[in-house]
Structure 1
Amino acid sequence: MAPLIEINSLEVRAGRTAIVEKLNLKLRKGTPLTILGETGSGKSLLAQAIIGLLPKGLTVSGQILIDGRDQAGLSRAQRERQWGRDIGMLPQEPWRALDPLMPALPQVSEVYELVGKMEPEAAWHRASGDLDRLQLANAGNKIPAQLSGGMAQRVAFAAATAGGARIILADEPTKGLDARRRDLVVAQLKDRSANGGLLTITHDIEVARQLGGDTIVMRQGVVVERGTTEQILSSPKSAYARALVAAAPQNWPDLRAAAVGQPAKRRVLAGCGLSLMRGNKKLFSNLDINIAAGEVLALSGDSGTGKTSLGDVLLGLLPPSSGQVLREVEAARYQYQKLYQDPPAAFAPQVTLGRLMEDLICLHRLDRGRLLSLMARLNLSKKLLGRYPHQVSGGELQRLAIARVLMLDPVLLFADEPTSRLDPITARDTTLMLVELARESGCALLLVCHDPLLVEKVADRHLHLGAVAED
């Protein structure tokens, strides 16, 4: 049987620089194909090249066949007619896939109407069923800004798959989801692949394990290993694949030991009797929370339970419905900082990264040399400063956001899933660096995390928010 997708000697270039080099792959019906690899290795660009949506300034060469049809000979209009019907894509950032002004249910229903040619009532019924299966029954009338990151990710998944495409390209489909909902999405993806094709790009080794099928490991735009998922995860042959598997949180050092025996430090912030409503639903009530200098407090809970909202309340970005927040350390307002769950939300899209950093340096009279030092520590090339936010990978943008925040010497850092876009190795190194810097500088670190193993390794204390009715 001919492969659904066949790629021969694919290269993606930025000028003379090869980002993806001489890549070959075959996606077959009923056999999921997963691509693992480091942040910025060209995985997302591969998916964009397949569907024909590479960013401006990048060029592609080689052969891409979809259902045996060479994509190079197709016009833009011909390619667009395939979208949703023959091939669908779930992009890495749900905010780029969703209409910001349209509620969730109409967004999914519209796909059934326009792509599936259904009558409005039937389309509405199918869309409602999709949201129910994704545990979003009460989110249908909410616009994307009213959804948590995990909820928006599931709505984008429903919209991307509603057209009935036989081939699905899923770019980080489970980021921002708690383990239970991650497994739910993975199960639905796997079911769809039984009678079609599924190409998944992920940093989550557990996602690859559950999908099974075949796996390709990429580094710096080059395939370093390929084989069955079981073989690669159980006995990887390449040094890089072995390092990926070894970077799982259960293999991290226990950083809580660093805080044992230290004298109690001054409390940075306290929330007393905090409650917050979302519409007519209560996210949390009568919540007391405090965090001390140099302490790491982990915050967990299902998607949509109000973790991000709680952080916004503590930072003064969102007023509580009741209760108060007390700041007990004298510091500038900008030293209470947030690392956003979706890094594009933290960067102006029409300004280069270098200009954004320079503006920050000038505004607060910061040391330019420290930026380069932090970038080196985060394994970021200074060449990235000449690019716009959409011209770097999600993982690179997240690490740039971390560098920018650390330049401000925060006294409190609310880190909202700060490694959700990072490969296991980079996620480990970045998390350990954040914790180390928090201990060294006395910065209070409030860390949102869905991984209980990671929490066990780094958190001094752990606060779990319970489920909410609308999610």
Structure 2
Amino acid sequence: MARTELLQVEGLSLVVARTELEVVKNVSFSVAPGEIVGIVGESGSGKTLAARSIMALEPPATRRAGGSIRFEGKDLAQLPPRELRRLRGSRIGMVFQEPMTSLNPSMLIGRQLDEGLALHRDLDAKERRALILDMLRRVGIKDPEGALEAYPHQFSGGMRQRIMLASVMLLQPALLVADEPTTALDAVVQRDVLELMVELTRARGTAVLMISHDLSMVARYTDRIIVMCKGEIVEQGTTQDLLRQPRHPYTQKLLAAMPRRLPKRDLSTSVQPIVEVRDLVVEYRGRQGFFRKESGKRALHGVSLAIKPREVVALVGGSGSGKTTLGRAIAGLLDPAGGEIRFGGRSVRRGSEDWGNYRLNCQMVFQDPYSSLDPRMTIADLVREALRLVPEMGHREKVERVSEILHDVGLGDAFAGRYPHELSGGQRQRVAIARALVRRPAFVIADEPVSALDVTVRAQVLDLFADLQQRHGFSCLFISHDLGVVEQIADRVIVMQDGRIVEEGDRDTIFDQPQDPYTIKLLSAIPALEAAANGGVRLRWRFDDMPQGDVATA
């Protein structure tokens, strides 16, 4: 029986108008009604540009140089602007990567959800409100009535993504384009959002084009996969066949870059901890106004942990679990309301005699290097700034140290005179690591250092980080929601929930024999890709043989 296509892209080419540089080259693919197709590739592969061109949302600096896009038999390039606007939202919907930039921060959620219905559906206000409330319930918003009167900033990232999905699915589109829909979400929320998306689309026969660099999620939820590299499709096929036996070297490279558990390191268990936290409490004050006062929130409830020399301790948990707050408090960026931080066996607190030495020996690598690097400073100046409070080093010694660390992180002197905007995301993260290590600290806190990187760059940065840690011998608190990364890099794992530590132990014990229900739920949320023959991988859910009731109670 002949296959009926909902979307047909044939020979699509996009060029940068000013330079005529071809950024999408002769791309052809199709999507059938009800089918879920994934597009994967590194940053800059052209996957988002190709997907956005379906709705004519490519950047103004680009233009279509060739090819056709047919949707429901119509050539979209030939449609007048008014008819194309009718298709957007009503027949083709899009979920963007960051819902906070897609939702209007100055508009109530109810008004934003009503906007599309009022434009595309012949319904009165009462009927539209009923549909909106029903959809909010379906996407898991506990108080739909209250949500209509709230603003986007009053919701978590996962809730905003659910609202964004609700706004798109309200119009019952035939095709949903999902551009990195779960990149910034933690493991449990990722699975919830994707399961919800699949449930809503399958119930209504909606086709999905999912753009992502998360290969495990694409492997779990798609029927077919398209692999793009440098603007071209290098391979496509059914998900099962492509994962089992990838043919193109680039596909094999992507799959080989997936995090894998390394052999357990032999670390001494009898040495004194380099950093110790005892009963740490952090509270955020409530806001005061003329007519009311909002109560504060306790973010950490008496947390205690110890990190030994050369040890990498991973801190994992869902959004709002307190892991970043704990990292910032240990780094001295937040003032705790109670508890004690000890460094080298001595208590340190702001204003104490040992505080300055501790702060120089405790450095932090932030999640987003672009926002943590001053755009007005060169790379050399940014790295050298960390040596400003080392009076015993002269100017020449500082220049030599900066050159040495830039070579250590794989950049070299050629990057010294550049500015942050002239570097890729992976290169900026290398600069952030160089700035943290140039002082040769004893302790480093890495807060989601690879969450924004694609799979191959992430693998390079992780290998670099492990190599530097082995050579320089610093201890590390590695904060992450990517359990694959944690499984590769950590010696020990600490699991947090609601500002408390619920479980801790060595990596193999936590991943293979977790005890706490929340840890089981966290590990069960993300599928694992295990190496198979012929350079392929196989998909496996952790603890999939465990009764679901045991997990659901977490």
TM-score (norm 1): 0.79
User: How far is the alpha carbon of 1:176 from its aligned partner?
Assistant: 3.1
Match of residue 339 from structure 1: 366
Distance in 1 between residues matched to 2:429 and 2:124, nearest whole Å: 45
Report 1:75-90 matches (<5 A). 78-90=83-95
1:330 to 334, 347, 357: 357
Matched, 1:360 2:382: yes
Match of residue 67 from structure 1: 72
Q: Which amino acid aligns with 2:38?
A: T
Matched, 1:4 2:6: yes
Match of residue 45 from structure 2: 41
Distance in 2 between residues matched to 1:312 and 1:56, nearest whole Å: 40
User: How far is the alpha carbon of 1:215 from its aligned partner?
Assistant: 0.8
State whether residues 365 and 432 of structure 2, in contact with CA within 8 Å, keep that contact through their aligned partners in structure 1: no
Distance in 2 between residues matched to 1:150 and 1:406, nearest whole Å: 32
Secondary structure (helix, strand or coil) at the match of 1:433 reads helix
Matched, 1:421 2:423: no
Matched, 1:304 2:316: no
CA deviations 1:170-208 (Å, max 9, x no partner) are: 111122333333222222332344312210011222222
State whether residues 429 and 449 of structure 2, in contact with CA within 8 Å, keep that contact through their aligned partners in structure 1: no
State whether residues 370 and 407 of structure 1, in contact with CA within 8 Å, keep that contact through their aligned partners in structure 2: no
Match of residue 234 from structure 1: 244
With CA pairs under 8 Å and 6+ residues apart, which has the higher RCO, 1 or 2?
A: 1
Secondary structure (helix, strand or coil) at the match of 1:407 reads helix
User: How far is the alpha carbon of 1:387 from its aligned partner?
Assistant: 9.1
The structure number with the bigger radius of gyration is: 2
1:260 to 260, 264, 267: 267
Match of residue 219 from structure 2: 209
Change (3 A) 1:408 1:398: same
Change (3 A) 1:375 1:230: same
Distance in 2 between residues matched to 1:339 and 1:299, nearest whole Å: 15
Change (3 A) 1:154 1:437: farther
How many aligned positions are there? 454
- Identity of matched residues, %: 27
The worse-fitting range, judged by mean Cα deviation, of 119-128 and 179-188 is: 119-128
Distance in 2 between residues matched to 1:158 and 1:451, nearest whole Å: 26
User: How far is the alpha carbon of 1:78 from its aligned partner?
Assistant: 4.7
State whether residues 203 and 423 of structure 1, in contact with CA within 8 Å, keep that contact through their aligned partners in structure 2: yes
User: How far is the alpha carbon of 1:35 from its aligned partner?
Assistant: 0.9
Q: Which runs of 5+ in 2 are unaligned?
A: 287-293, 342-347, 350-354, 389-397, 500-553
1:404 to 409, 425, 432: 432
Change (3 A) 1:198 1:324: same
Match of residue 458 from structure 1: 489
CA RMSD of aligned residues (A): 4.1
State whether residues 95 and 179 of structure 2, in contact with CA within 8 Å, keep that contact through their aligned partners in structure 1: yes
Distance in 2 between residues matched to 1:214 and 1:204, nearest whole Å: 15
Secondary structure (helix, strand or coil) at the match of 2:90 reads coil
State whether residues 224 and 238 of structure 1, in contact with CA within 8 Å, keep that contact through their aligned partners in structure 2: yes
Distance in 1 between residues matched to 2:406 and 2:463, nearest whole Å: 19
User: How far is the alpha carbon of 1:231 from its aligned partner?
Assistant: 0.6
CA deviations 1:272-296 (Å, max 9, x no partner) are: 4324458756544122244456432
Distance in 2 between residues matched to 1:398 and 1:284, nearest whole Å: 32
Distance in 2 between residues matched to 1:357 and 1:288, nearest whole Å: 37
1:26 to 21, 26, 30: 30
User: How far is the alpha carbon of 1:30 from its aligned partner?
Assistant: 1.3
Distance in 2 between residues matched to 1:112 and 1:162, nearest whole Å: 7
Match of residue 220 from structure 1: 230
Secondary structure (helix, strand or coil) at the match of 1:330 reads helix
User: How far is the alpha carbon of 1:234 from its aligned partner?
Assistant: 1.6
Change (3 A) 1:78 1:210: same
Change (3 A) 1:65 1:432: same
Match of residue 15 from structure 2: 13
Q: Which runs of 5+ in 1 are unaligned?
A: none
Distance in 2 between residues matched to 1:310 and 1:144, nearest whole Å: 26
User: How far is the alpha carbon of 1:405 from its aligned partner?
Assistant: 4.5
Report 1:101-112 matches (<5 A). 101-102=106-107, 107-108=112-113, 110-112=115-117
Secondary structure (helix, strand or coil) at the match of 2:364 reads strand
Q: Which amino acid aligns with 1:330?
A: N
The worse-fitting range, judged by mean Cα deviation, of 180-189 and 36-45 is: 180-189
Q: Which amino acid aligns with 1:190?
A: V
Match of residue 254 from structure 2: 244
Secondary structure (helix, strand or coil) at the match of 1:186 reads helix
Distance in 1 between residues matched to 2:168 and 2:407, nearest whole Å: 40
Change (3 A) 1:264 1:43: farther
Secondary structure (helix, strand or coil) at the match of 1:464 reads strand
Q: Which amino acid aligns with 1:188?
A: L
CA deviations 1:139-159 (Å, max 9, x no partner) are: 947655555544444443334
Distance in 1 between residues matched to 2:268 and 2:298, nearest whole Å: 39
User: How far is the alpha carbon of 1:68 from its aligned partner?
Assistant: 2.9
The worse-fitting range, judged by mean Cα deviation, of 431-440 and 266-275 is: 266-275
User: How far is the alpha carbon of 1:41 from its aligned partner?
Assistant: 1.3
Q: Which amino acid aligns with 2:187?
A: A
State whether residues 247 and 424 of structure 1, in contact with CA within 8 Å, keep that contact through their aligned partners in structure 2: yes
